[in-house]
Structure 1
Amino acid sequence: MNKESKNTPHEADFVFGKKNYIVMAIGIAVIALGFILMAGGGSDDPNVFNPDIYNFRRIRLAPTVVLIGFGIEVYAILLNPNKKKKE
């Protein structure tokens, strides 16, 4: 080994590339949006039933958005940042 190679700092090897982290951040934002869409619909009085808890947004849309966010996360993990574009 060279003495110079011991003193020279090497680049940190990250598991994912910059593109992976960007796609992961988008996935986390989509998941957060899904949970925000799921929130609410409660009643101030526990003796009164509020049917808004079963509306389309909370039952269909929000879980679908969360699942799409998880799909984006899986794509971000499997994305190869070193793959070259075909021209």
Structure 2
Amino acid sequence: MHEMKSRNYKVHITKQEDGGYMANIPSLQHCFSFGETIEEAIEHVKEALEGVLMVMEEKGLPIPDDNDVIEASITISESSSKNRLSNLVSA
């Protein structure tokens, strides 16, 4: 087996309501993992990513390029969200 080239992937971390964290790789929809700490979640998702990429390579599947992921943030006020929701409910 030949050595895979080095790749960088964005990781999104989400704090879970019941404690702990979920880490996911946006460019690989089903590549995610959990951990009690942020560091543990990142370590686990890295292991998952390595496994996913190895299987994809073995099957001859194209490896997604993380450069295709565009990140953006939006901000909305809670009051405008609640007003829209109440308008939808009362309609």
TM over 0.5: no
Instruction: Choose between structure 1 and 2 for higher RCO, CA contacts under 8 A separated by at least 6 residues.
Output: 1
Greater strand percent: which structure?
Answer: 2
Q: TM-score normalised to the size of structure 1?
A: 0.29
Greater helix percent: which structure?
Answer: 1
Q: TM-score normalised to the size of structure 2?
A: 0.28
